[in-house]
Structures are given as structure tokens and as C-alpha cells.
Structure 1
Amino acid sequence: MTNRTSKRAGTRPHTRTTGAAAEPGRRGIPAAFSRAVPVLGAAARRGAVRITRHPWYGRVQGGARRVGRATGGLTRRYVRPVVGVVGPLGRLVVAAVVVLAVLGLSLGWQEAGVGAIFGTLLLVSAVGFVLGRSAYDVDLDLTRTRVAVGDRAVGAVTVASAASRPLRPASLELPVGAATAAFYLPRLEPGQSYEDLFTIPTSRRTVLTIGPVRSVRADPLHLLRREVTWTEPVELFVHPRTVGLGASTPGFIRDLEGLPTHDLANTDVSFHALRDYQPGDDRRHIHWRSTARTGTLMVRQFEQTRRSHIGIGLSTEASEYDGEADLELAISVATSIGLQAAREQRNLDVITSSGPLRTRTGRTLLDDATRLTGTTGMAAVDLARTTAETLPNASVIFFVVGMHVSAADLRRAAAWVPVGIRTLAVRCGAGRPAARATIGDLVVLTVGSLDELGSVLRRAAS
């Protein structure tokens, strides 16, 4: 091992290391430096040593960021559109061409070279099918964006030519949820339009995203595929099926003057009785006729009233239902009761296992109910506690649950409801016979069909 130290005028001494000393851990790194780096790193982490960067470091770093942004912009503008045109089969052909070309050039395999040339010709010929520019005015029109389960949903796609020359035939695609509808667009002359109608199945409650309408150009083998989007997507709400309750509710939902309570007050709108005047009573409430008749000051005493406030606790716990049909029935029952309260302009709150629903209008209630799905983690008893704590001033509370909720669970759920609030539990089981039972002060109703809801509620009011 030889160490040479040289010193030149105006320069700092440097050490040149050769031989075995050059490999303490890495080749070409001095041993002292290799031992010092971990020590300096640990000291820097403790804050004992401050490591400063060269002034040019920031300039180099900023330049690197600018180059990265420029490269990313070029990639988004030119590379991605080209790569996006190549379909799955086209990518397979490109990979096969590359592999065959490498085999043909490296091994002199003529058959592989011929295959590479043939694949290249296929790709080049497919380019002519996707080139060109189309000018369309496309309109996606849904007659209704909100329908109930089983109703007919109809839409139309209108395409007009906005080009100054004839447009060759093309294909249109319309995504409908997870499916895709295809339309054939014929040759269009300048100013000519084409319209096609379509229907959307509404057999189940869901929110479908319709669109966007896109034109598609592709070669016969679908090696290349070019899509152009022309419209924005539209949401179609397939609301749960509901029934009108009509005159089924007046037995337990009172008029707007509210439900009377047993709490007495000095001022209100519901007259209760007369009592002797006490210091501090409002003189406006003195009943002068009774005072003149008895010779003693008598004042009116009132009974507190409250406005009807309907609360609905809807359980979406999947384990409480026998299947999807029972859950759909429970959602339909809850929304039917909620819509009846909304029609009568009563205060309404709907609490579900996944959170509250908007109840400002019947439309918002149905929209939120459409998005409900089966959940896990909140049993009926927990839902009852949340509903009672959220709605302490409700006049009537409905608990809509599945058939797997036991009588003991219903009893514990009703225990959370404050005294004075009428409570009803509606158990939903498709195909079950309608029934009415009581557990203490709790009225338990069994509904097997949505059409039976009105009669079951009338039975509860009797």
C-alpha cells in the first residue's frame, strides 16, 4: 500500500489512495471517509452537525423539476393518446412483432422475420381506419332522470353533422351503468341528423350513470380503437317502490296543533283548566267571568303542545334480513311512511344504520334511499339508541327492521325511547303474513308485502 501526499501552490492537499486501503467497504472510497460517513449521518440526525448544500444544488434541483414537468406534459399530450389507441389485441400484436423481430435478427430465423413484417403491415393498415376528424353535435336526452322500480325509462341520442363535408359511417357507444349500448351511425350529409331511442331496464333500485356518448373508430380486427367523447354523463335514479298510505295515518299522527302532553304551563294554545291566581301570573290570563262568579281571581292554565314530528329508524344491517328482497321491502316501507309525512308537511327525520337521510323534500328522501346498501356493524338496538338520542322531541317513532330481530332486541330498543313518544316497530319479511303484536307499550307490526302496509297501519291505529 502506498500513500502519496502532494501539495501544490494555491491548492489544498489531497490524498491519493491505492492498493488494499482503497477497499474498506466500497471500491475507490478512502477508509477514513467510509468510517466518517455513518458517524456524520448519525450526528446530523441528532442535530449536532449541520450539513449545508452547495448554492448550485437548488438550481440543479429546480431545473430537474422543470424538465420533469415538461416531460410529463409531452407524455400527456402526445404519448398517452397514441398508446391509448392501441387495443388489447393490438398490444399483443406489437409485443409479438418485437419478439419475432429480435429472434429473426439475432438467430437469422427467416420465418420470424416474415411474421414480424406481417404484424407490422397489420398495424400500419389499421392506422388508416382510426385517422380523420369528425364533427358532431350530440345530444343525450332522458325523458325522466328519476323513476321508480318497474317504471319505464326512455332516452334518445340525437347526432347532427357539424362538418362541411359528408361524414362516413361510425359507431356510437353509450355506457349504461356497467353495460354498454352500441348504435350504428350511418353516413351523414352536412346538416343532416340521426336519432335513436333506447330503453333502460329498471328492475332494481339503483343509481345508473348514463353516458357519456362516445364515437368509436376501429379497424376490422380491433387492433386500434379511437374514442371521442361528445356528452357529459347523466345520473338516472331508480327509486324504491312506494305506496300511498292515504287515510291510514290519522290514528297516530295528529294534526298540526300537535300531540298534547301532561306537562302544564302558564302559556300555550291548548286550554286545560282554571286555577287560583298566584303572584307573578300574567294578568292577561285572568278569566274575568269566573273571577266575577267566584269572587276570587282565577287564571287560565294551559297544557303544553308540540308539533307532530315523525322519526323513522331504518335498519340496513344485512344480518337482520333473510335476503335482498327483505331489505328492499324495508326500504320501501320506510320511504312510504316518510313520503306520507312529507305530503302532510310534518317534521320528518330518517335515521339509517349508515347515517341520516335528507328529508327536506320527498325527492331528496328518495334520492338518498336509492343509494342505500346493506351494512354491517350497527344492530337494531344501537340504531334505536341513536334515533332516540337524535330525536328526543319526536311524537311518533317507527323502527323498520328485519325478521331476525328478536322480541328481546325490540324490547331493549324500545327502552331507549323517552316516555311520551309513541313507538312502533315494523318487521319486514317478504311473503310473511301480516300481523300485529305488542311488547309492553311497543306495537310490533309484521309486513310481508308493500301493498299490505296501509291496512297494517290502520290496524295499529285501532
Structure 2
Amino acid sequence: MTDRRPVDTRSRRPVATRSRRGAAQERTGTVAGLTNVRTRLVGDRDDVAADAVVGVVRLWRTAWRLARRSWDEVSSVVTGLGWTVLALTVVAFVTGYRFGLREVVVVGWAGAVLVVIAAIALLGRSRLVIRMSLPQARVVVGGEAGVTVTAENPTRLPSVPTTVELPVGTGLVDVVVPAVAPNGSHEQHVPVPTTRRGVLDVGPLTGVRADPVGLVRREVVWTAREQVVVHPRTIAIPSTSTGLVRDLEGQATTDLSPADIAFHAIREYVPGDHPRTIHWKSTAKTGAFMVRQFEDTRRSHLVVGLGVSRSEFDDDEEFELAVSVAASLGARAVRDGREVTVVVSERTPEFAKRPVRAVQTLPTVTPTRLLDAFASVGLADACLPVAEVAGIVGRDTVGISVAFLVVGSTVGVAALRLAASRFPVGVEVVAVVCEPEAVPRSVRVAGLTVMTIGYLEDLRHALHRSVSA
């Protein structure tokens, strides 16, 4: 029997062709979905030419990164004089050899020698480890303050002399560090000027490496920036010397209160009185309910206001005296544990459309915090006068008992009386007029005491005279 099976007449070559086309489409679709650099350069090609193109581009990118990094390093150390000398050297060589000018060629070679010396000066690195420390970050005006620069050599070879730069305020101090022995150290004290009150930025300590001519300059920052706070000069005022402020419990007033400390009298009971105020012995004697009555007491709340308007002071010396007076009064009140508010006028920006009617309240948590704030207080051309400052403080501060207004000699009595009238009734207002080298005196005006002092020490005597009066 003949086995007749169906014969598959399809050719195998089309099958192979179709499988290769499908693999190509699959590969093309995969590459088309990528967005890397190779796809943008050669697409889906994977032959030798495509690999060569990719290799050339990668080599170019690497060379460009190295060239850019080298250029950044060179430009960061070459000074303006260095670029000028380099340009003149190139121009001298080209011009001298082109036109046969020997003198110009000599200038070119001189510039080349300077460039080589500058390059040699940058070779190597410092073996030193340099630190900076502030033994005292806060100091009074005229006190001693300084920075200790310590250089250590942890290597086995001696170091070479070097120079480091130390910015102090607006100045710059060059500190010369001599050669340090192996595993040795060297300390040097750099004084900080404290002739004026303020906050001085000290540092960062920068190591400088440069050639003798100044063509190149490399800086290494060793430390961070620190601050030296120069406090205003203050005077010790005894806690009982003010005479205007009573004990911490408060001073008795003529206002009567049903519950307080200062006993006043006994009266008959009226509906609404608290049962705890009943005086039982008097009740037993009279046969009617009698209650205790007290005088209302108020806790002492001091206000120290300092004017900072330039028009209210004759010169900077007068303003410094006023800052010392305000700082002395505020610091003494904080040390005594009293409730105190210290304010200065807020500055108006230069391009503001209208004046800023506000005051700046200085921190009174500790005397140190208060003196730190006073170190940054300065004169301003556009700010509120003392009368406006008194009005804002009198309106926003509750329970004021005594207010000290520290002003300059250009403020008249009329302006001081206007400022005193801005406080609530019953507030004792004392105006301290600061006039350097003036004869101290005290004048009592209606609702106002005007004290004129010429030196800071006169403040203590003026307050003592106030007690006697």
C-alpha cells in the first residue's frame, strides 16, 4: 500500500527570512526607544564604523573635561598681572622673531623666565595644619581681645616659612608663620582692635602661596569665620540707687483692692465681696460682717528707650555715651530680675514710600544678650524721633511704672515734654540728656525729670541726687 501523506510545499527560506526580519524589527524597536548619546549618533547601527564614531566622541568628551578642569585650576591661581605678562610675552616673541627685533625678543624671554618662576612657586603643598581660636568672643570697648593662630607640622620634614591672611573687620592682617620643626607647633597671638563698639568678623584664616612678582596666587582656607562682639562700656548701678523704683513686690498706690499685700482698712461687707476677705475678729465684735481692704500694688515695669536718629545727636561720641547709659540701665534692671523693656527706633529703608512707625525691642533674657544687641545699634538718618517712640511704647506696653528716655543734646525740653505726655498717667518719666563734658544737672518739669550728664560716671551721681530729692 502506498502511503500518501500531504507534502509541505512551502519553502524554508522564506521562514528564515521572516525570522531575521522579525529580529531586526525587534532590535530596531528596542534601540528606537532609547534616548542615549549612541542612539542620537549612529542610531541602531552596531558595525565597526559606528563603534569608531562612538569611541571618537567619548575620547573628545574626556579630553574636553580634562581641558576645562585644567583651565579652571589655572584661571583660579593666575592674577590679572599674570595674564598681562603672559600676553606681553607671547606678543614679544611673535613680534621680535617676525621683524628681527632683538630687544623685543629679550623682553619675551624675560617674561618667559617670570612665568617659569611663577609655575615653580606653585609646586608642592603646605605641610602645616593651621587653626584659629578666640580666647574671648565678647569684650568691652577698650578691652584686650585677640586671635590665637596655631600652626602644626605633623610630617617628618620641617616646613618652610609661609604667610597666612587673617581678615579682621574691614582690615587684613598678614601673619608670618616661621619654619616649624617636624611634629612641632607654633602659636602666634594677633590682637583685635576694640576701640569702637560693634561686631567684628574675624577670619576665615587663608593660606597664601604666590610668586615674588605676584603673577600667581593660590589660597587655601583653613578655618571658618568667627565673630568678636565689642560691648558698650557700662557702669555698675546699685539696685537701690534708682530711687524711682521700689521693691520687687511693687509700690502701693491710692487705688483700693479687695486682695493684695498692702493692708489699708476694714469695712462692712457688701454683696459681691469674697468670703475669704472676711475679718472674723471684727465681725465678732461688731456683730456684722466686716471685710479687709487693701491698697493696690503694682509690679515695677521699667522702659528704656534710646533714640537713634542722627538729627538728635551732635556727633558719634555723644551717641556712644547714650548707648552706654541705656545699656547700663537695662543691664542693671535685668540683673535685679525686674520686668524691663528696652526699645530703639526702627529704621526706615532708603527707598520706602512712607516712614516705618515701629520700634525694635532688644532681648532682655540675660544681660549678655542685651549687650550683644546693643553692640549692633547704630545711628540712622531716617527713623522716628523720641516723641514718636514714646508714643508707640506707651500705647503697646502694659503696666509701665518708670520710663527712661536716653537722648542727645540737640533734643529740646519741648520735645521731651511731648514725649513724656505720650505715656499713660502715673508713669514716672526720666529723660537722660547725654552731652559729653557737660556739667551734670537735674531739672524737674511737670511730669518729667531731665538729667544732663557729661560722663558715664555722672549717671550714678544723678540717680543718687534723684533719691535725695
Output the TM-score relative to the length of structure 1.
0.79
> In structure 2, what is the equivalent of residue 136 of structure 1?
128
> In structure 1, what is the equivalent of residue 288 of structure 2?
296
> CA separation in 2, counterparts of 1:105 and 1:302?
109
Shift of 1:81: 4.2
Shift of 1:100: 4.7
Shift of 1:105: 8.1
Aligned partners of 1:134 and 1:163 also within 8 Å: no
With over 3 angstroms needed to count, the CA separation of the structure-2 counterparts of 1:275 and 1:109, relative to structure 1, is farther
With over 3 angstroms needed to count, the CA separation of the structure-2 counterparts of 1:228 and 1:418, relative to structure 1, is same
Question: Secondary structure of the residue that 2:207 maps to in structure 1?
Answer: strand
Matches within 5 A, 1:9-28: none
Of 82, 88, 100, which residue of structure 1 is paired with 2:74?
82
With over 3 angstroms needed to count, the CA separation of the structure-2 counterparts of 1:383 and 1:250, relative to structure 1, is closer
Task: Report Cα offsets for 1:404-433 as digits up to 9, x if no partner.
Answer: 111111111111100121110101111111
Question: Secondary structure of the residue that 2:227 maps to in structure 1?
Answer: strand
> In structure 2, what is the equivalent of residue 329 of structure 1?
321
Matches within 5 A, 1:41-440: 79-97=71-89, 100=92, 111-112=103-104, 114-246=106-238, 249-354=241-346, 355-377=360-382, 378-440=384-446
Shift of 1:325: 0.3
> CA separation in 1, counterparts of 2:209 and 2:248?
63
Aligned partners of 1:248 and 1:458 also within 8 Å: no
Which runs of 5 or more structure 1 residues have no equivalent in the other structure? 1-57, 64-69
Q: In structure 1, what residue type is equivalent to 2:128?
A: Y
With over 3 angstroms needed to count, the CA separation of the structure-2 counterparts of 1:88 and 1:437, relative to structure 1, is farther
Aligned partners of 1:248 and 1:454 also within 8 Å: no
Q: In structure 1, what residue type is equivalent to 2:416?
A: L
Cα root mean square deviation, aligned: 2.9
> In structure 2, what is the equivalent of residue 12 of structure 1?
none
Task: Report Cα offsets for 1:156-209 as digits up to 9, x if no partner.
Answer: 211101334332221122221122222222222331111112222211112111
Shift of 1:455: 0.2
With over 3 angstroms needed to count, the CA separation of the structure-2 counterparts of 1:243 and 1:276, relative to structure 1, is same
Which runs of 5 or more structure 2 residues have no equivalent in the other structure? 1-34, 41-61, 347-359
The structure with the larger Rg is 2
Aligned partners of 2:430 and 2:451 also within 8 Å: yes
Aligned partners of 1:214 and 1:227 also within 8 Å: yes
Task: Report Cα offsets for 1:201-254 as digits up to 9, x if no partner.
Answer: 211112111222222111111221111111112211111111101256341121
Shift of 1:381: 1.1
> CA separation in 2, counterparts of 1:80 and 1:244?
58
Q: In structure 1, what residue type is equivalent to 2:414?
A: A
Aligned partners of 2:239 and 2:332 also within 8 Å: no
Aligned partners of 1:248 and 1:455 also within 8 Å: no
Question: Secondary structure of the residue that 1:134 maps to in structure 2?
Answer: coil
> CA separation in 1, counterparts of 2:78 and 2:299?
65
Q: In structure 1, what residue type is equivalent to 2:367?
A: G
Q: In structure 1, what residue type is equivalent to 2:454?
A: G
Aligned partners of 2:232 and 2:375 also within 8 Å: yes
